[in-house]
Amino acid sequence: MAKRRQKKQIYRYECTITGETYKTTKQAKNPDDLISVQAYYEMNPEEDDRPEEIKIQLEQSQG
């Protein structure tokens, strides 16, 4: 007997700050409280531990 693949449900959420849409395979308990990584670092610049080259690339891509 062949095994059937389970179809994963995809949940789509929108960041309340940047408006960016992203998708996950798990349902969020509080979808209104979700924010993107970019929004988190904008709110907490002192915790931004990314390398400088990544920060420069993101600034250039945002325009």
Quick: pLDDT tens for 38-50. 889 889 999 989 8
Task: Answer whether 34's CB lies under 8 Å from 13's CB.
Answer: yes
By DSSP bridging, strand 11-14 and strand 21-24 are antiparallel
Residue 5 lies in a domain: no
From the CB of residue 44, how many other CB atoms can be counted at a distance below 10 Å?
9
Query: How is residue 47 written in tokens?
Result: 């915790």
Residue 32 lies in a domain: yes
6-49 residue pLDDT tens? 888 999 999 988 888 989 999 999 988 888 888 898 899 999 89
Residues of the domain holding 36: 11-62
Q: CA nearest 42: which of 62, 17, 9? A: 17
Q: pTM, whole model, 2 decimals?
A: 0.63
Domain count across the chain: 1
* C-alpha angle 21-38-58 in degrees, rounded to nearest 5: 105
Residue 2 lies in a domain: no
